[in-house]
Structure 1
Amino acid sequence: MRIGIVSNSDSFIPMAYTLAMQQLQVHIFLSPAKDAFVQQKVKAFVQQTKLPFTEERNADKDLYTWLQKGNYDIGFILVYPHLIRLERLKNHPARLFNIHFGVLPGFKGPVPVFWQLKKGLDKIGLTIHHLSSKIDDGPMAWTKTTDNLPHYNYQLANQVLSQLCIEGVVFVLHLFINKLPIPEIPTNPNDTAYQKRPQLNNVLINRQTMSAIEICNLVRACNPWNKGALTWFQQQEVKLMDAQVISAIDSADNLQADTIINDDQSLHILCKDGKLINVNMLFLNDCFVPAYDARQWGLNKGIQFGLQDLTFKQ
């Protein structure tokens, strides 16, 4: 059996390795990743495994040529940045499936993991669906969720889902090999929501509206790709790279949200709901700054994050 895998991410590696170890003929088509490290990691993987590998040079035609000439039996697309026009593949016999790291149809869009973490869902999930002419559309063949654990950040959640998708791919392949019908589960159009690529306001901590847990969720969703959730200090960008809800305080009436109330070995920051978050690492002036050094940067007890620093009130 000839299996084609299309991606521009390193998330396909666990799946491709698993299938190759089953003596299946796996062929890789890579659209160049923007991240040079990801590109290097993928090329190291194909060199080590000696899997057939094609790198996209012309986004308008290379994929279609590769699919037509490859004569694949089945194909899986995982994080491909371009809409695949099925009308150009009318004579292509392969069954094509898209692997989407979000539960459909509520998390359509290019970065569903970000939004699942930011929204603080109890579960994160993925969907394998029949490829259609629309983005993240088509009947579902398989879907699964897993617990959204407190230590998951954006990168780790992607890694978890890249492992979890193997189960779904094996399920689809088992049905295909045995000539059994592959499910075509319709989605409820009333649940459809497209989640756009995060913009500045989506990664910015809003002290007027965000609770402590919402800030922690945003920090996890922004780490490591954005080096944390964004706030301000002396008109400079500061990013919180980790955050954990630790407690509430009784005498918060005279304090403003986003105020540092402890600057000892870590920063304790007051949130609008009266709870504290504990921060151990920041990103400031292109430097990774541990909280125990924050005083050296002027981040002292009484300082308030935001566009204007306020004096701490005893």
Structure 2
Amino acid sequence: MKITLLTGGLYSVPSMHYLSGQKMLHSVVSLGKPDKNNIPVEVNAQHLNVPFKRFLRDELLTGFKNWLIESQPEVVLVFGCAYKLPAELLNIPKFGFYNIHFSLLPAYRGKSPVFWQIKNGENAGGITIHQMTEDYDNGPMLVQQEIPIEPNDTFGLYSGRLAMASTQLIAKGIEKLINTGNELLYPQNESKASYFPGPAIDDLKINWETQSAREIENLVNATNPDYGGAVTLFRGQPFRILEVNQVQVNNPTEAIAGSIVHADINYGIIVACKNMQYLRINIIQSSEGIFSGFKLAALGIAAGERFESAASLFGLTITP
């Protein structure tokens, strides 16, 4: 089968290598200007001696369309597309465009399903390969696979596992297309549909007063590394927390949520959450650098100080 891979991110790289090894990868395409996410895609394509093409948004119905007509891929596999593709492009390949989406559709439609699944404390997610239509994440499904979310999975760890698992699901999907074409696609169950937009900066904020220790840990994991950490204030400055874990405290006493109840170079920084739950702060990032909790204690952060919920995040941006 003659396949084009349309991608703008590193999570497509295992599938790129797999398809190249199977002699099915005709070309790799990225849409948009070069950036930190798609430049490694181009480097990998060059390493594999696979033709690489780049098209800007205003070239979708000109250069990209003409290139599709000339090259005639049988199918275009899509790993994350920054733009909504015009309907007239979708029917040019023999089998159309198929999106590799990191959730069990129709649940978690939208731009960043892994972030929301981890933040919401889901025990499992998965991968869906579905035919693309004019509407985002709505087309009929080719194949689907559930993948457990482990308690300590971060955005990066879980996405990496999904990226590796995608290779075998793509193989299964290709076999199905070869044998039956588009005849055995099955519709999404709209009664189970949910949609989540791309995270905004307010979605990254820790609210010490309302969130449990588990909810804060889920948020921290969901932001690591792609969103740069969950946001809190300390001494009036924004801190991004990249790793925490829940701990038990001997002889606990009531403390305001966000308060540091213990700090030393042996046990690090321990913070009170609501309902007398506690988190150890393992890794943070501030304007001064990236530090372990042990280092913070050595630098003088002490029990009695407090992390605060960020009421205003003016000027703070999301990193991807």
Q: Kindly provide the amino acid, as one letter, of the partner of residue 21 in structure 2.
A: M
Which of 175-184 and 17-26 deviates more?
A: 175-184
The question of whether the paired residues in 1 share the 8 Å contact of 2:30 and 2:38 is answered with no
Query: What is the CA-CA distance between 1:298 and the residue it aligns to?
Result: 5.0
Aligned residue number for residue 74 of structure 2: 73
The 1:64/1:235 distance shift into structure 2, 3 A limit, reads same
Aligned residue number for residue 268 of structure 1: 270
Task: State the TM-score, normalizing by the size of structure 2.
Answer: 0.89
Q: Kindly provide the amino acid, as one letter, of the partner of residue 54 in structure 2.
A: E
Query: 2-side partners of 1:307 and 1:11: how far apart?
Result: 33
Aligned residue number for residue 314 of structure 2: none
Q: Kindly provide the amino acid, as one letter, of the partner of residue 48 in structure 1.
A: H
Query: 1-side partners of 2:153 and 2:208: how far apart?
Result: 23
The 1:260/1:282 distance shift into structure 2, 3 A limit, reads same
Query: 1-side partners of 2:293 and 2:128: how far apart?
Result: 39
The question of whether the paired residues in 1 share the 8 Å contact of 2:209 and 2:274 is answered with yes
Percent identity between the two aligned chains: 24
The 1:88/1:97 distance shift into structure 2, 3 A limit, reads closer
The question of whether the paired residues in 2 share the 8 Å contact of 1:103 and 1:143 is answered with yes
Q: Kindly provide the amino acid, as one letter, of the partner of residue 63 in structure 1.
A: F
Q: Kindly provide the amino acid, as one letter, of the partner of residue 148 in structure 1.
A: I
The answer on 1:259 being equivalent to 2:259 is: yes
Q: Where does 1:41-190 land on structure 2 (aligned, <5 Å)?
A: 41-57=40-56, 58-61=58-61, 62-90=63-91, 92-179=93-180, 183-190=184-191
Query: 2-side partners of 1:55 and 1:227: how far apart?
Result: 27
Which of 81-90 and 210-219 deviates more?
A: 81-90
The question of whether the paired residues in 2 share the 8 Å contact of 1:3 and 1:27 is answered with yes
Aligned residue number for residue 11 of structure 1: 11
Aligned residue number for residue 23 of structure 1: 23
Aligned residue number for residue 39 of structure 1: 38
The answer on 1:279 being equivalent to 2:278 is: no
Q: What is the root-mean-square deviation of aligned Cα atoms in Å?
A: 2.1
Aligned residue number for residue 235 of structure 1: 236
Q: Kindly provide the amino acid, as one letter, of the partner of residue 216 in structure 2.
A: I
Q: Kindly provide the amino acid, as one letter, of the partner of residue 252 in structure 1.
A: T
The question of whether the paired residues in 2 share the 8 Å contact of 1:141 and 1:182 is answered with no
Q: Kindly provide the amino acid, as one letter, of the partner of residue 273 in structure 1.
A: N
* Deviation sequence 1:101-155 (CA, Å, 0-9, x none): 1221120111111001101111121211111110111111111121111332112
Query: What is the CA-CA distance between 1:34 and the residue it aligns to?
Result: 6.6
Which of 80-89 and 244-253 deviates more?
A: 244-253
Task: State the TM-score, normalizing by the size of structure 1.
Answer: 0.90
Aligned residue number for residue 196 of structure 1: 197
Query: 1-side partners of 2:90 and 2:231: how far apart?
Result: 44
| Secondary structure of the corresponding residue to residue 280 of structure 1 | strand
Query: What is the CA-CA distance between 1:54 and the residue it aligns to?
Result: 0.6
Query: What is the CA-CA distance between 1:35 and the residue it aligns to?
Result: 4.2
Query: 1-side partners of 2:242 and 2:101: how far apart?
Result: 26
The 1:81/1:250 distance shift into structure 2, 3 A limit, reads same
* Deviation sequence 1:28-67 (CA, Å, 0-9, x none): 111247742x333222211211011111234433332232
Aligned residue number for residue 317 of structure 2: none
* Deviation sequence 1:232-273 (CA, Å, 0-9, x none): 0122101111011122565333x1011111111311111102
Query: 1-side partners of 2:162 and 2:52: how far apart?
Result: 23
The question of whether the paired residues in 2 share the 8 Å contact of 1:9 and 1:33 is answered with no
The question of whether the paired residues in 1 share the 8 Å contact of 2:128 and 2:144 is answered with yes
